[in-house]
A and B are shown apart, each in its own frame.
Chain A
Amino acid sequence: GENVEQHPSTLSVQEGDSAVIKCTYSDSASNYFPWYKQELGKGPQLIIDIRSNVGEKKDQRIAVTLNKTAKHFSLHITETQPEDSAVYFCAAWATGGGNKLTFGTGTQLKVEL
């Protein structure tokens, strides 16, 4: 089955700096890659996603890049703000993969003032 690895597990940045979280996946059939943000006491919230026919997608301060050859995808947050502090999860989904997303283990992002 699919295996998703996520790094780093914790990330601390200064306000205004950029943050990058990286994930690798194992199943070459994976074709959908969402990112979720989870705040304390809340459920994960979908913040951006990318499909395998696209190399990059951007939404204001967040962007996701996908390298299908290397089987890795990354989340980029620019001009970080304190409200970006949360746990971020990547995930991968493959057509015919039993209708399930495989999640990474999460990255705790802390934006310091």
Chain B
Amino acid sequence: DAGITQSPRHKVTETGTPVTLRCHQTENHRYMYWYRQDPGHGLRLIHYSYGVKDTDKGEVSDGYSVSRSKTEDFLLTLESATSSQTSVYFCAISDTKGDQPQHFGDGTRLSIL
């Protein structure tokens, strides 16, 4: 299995609180992605990164920010969590040969009450 670790694996929090999810990789891959998975929607891209400090928005980026200060770490932040952000969040990585996500982490289940 590719070396991708997501933390925490589960989190319950309240509306209005800030939340940060972490993705850590040991593969030295250039590209990293954050997706959310919701019933009936498949996986939707939130943000992605194509290098340290280089990030861009995906199709559902509103309410989310990201940071990548090191190759191995990609952080997803919900500045003020809302109930609509209750979801399962997946991090993915790609090697330098292409920019399609090839390996996914095992996800973070986030519940916002």
A–B pairs, 20, beta carbons within 8 Å? A4-B42, A41-B106, A43-B92, A43-B106, A44-B43, A44-B104, A45-B104, A46-B102, A89-B42, A89-B43, A99-B99, A100-B48, A100-B58, A101-B43, A101-B45, A101-B101, A103-B44, A104-B42, A105-B40, A106-B42
Cβ of A61: which chain B residues have Cβ within 8 Å of it?
A: none
Contacts of A93 in B (CB 8 A): 100
Name the prevailing secondary structure of the A interface residues: loop
- Tell me if B56 counts as interface (CB < 8 A to partner A): yes
- A residues within 8 A CB of B99? 99
Residue of B with least CB distance to A103: B42
Given A104-B42, A105-B42, the answer on whether A99 and B56 have CB atoms closer than 8 Å is yes
Number of interface residues of A (CB under 8 A): 22
Report A's interface with B, CB cutoff 8 A: 1, 4, 6, 32, 34, 36, 41-46, 89, 93, 98-101, 103-106
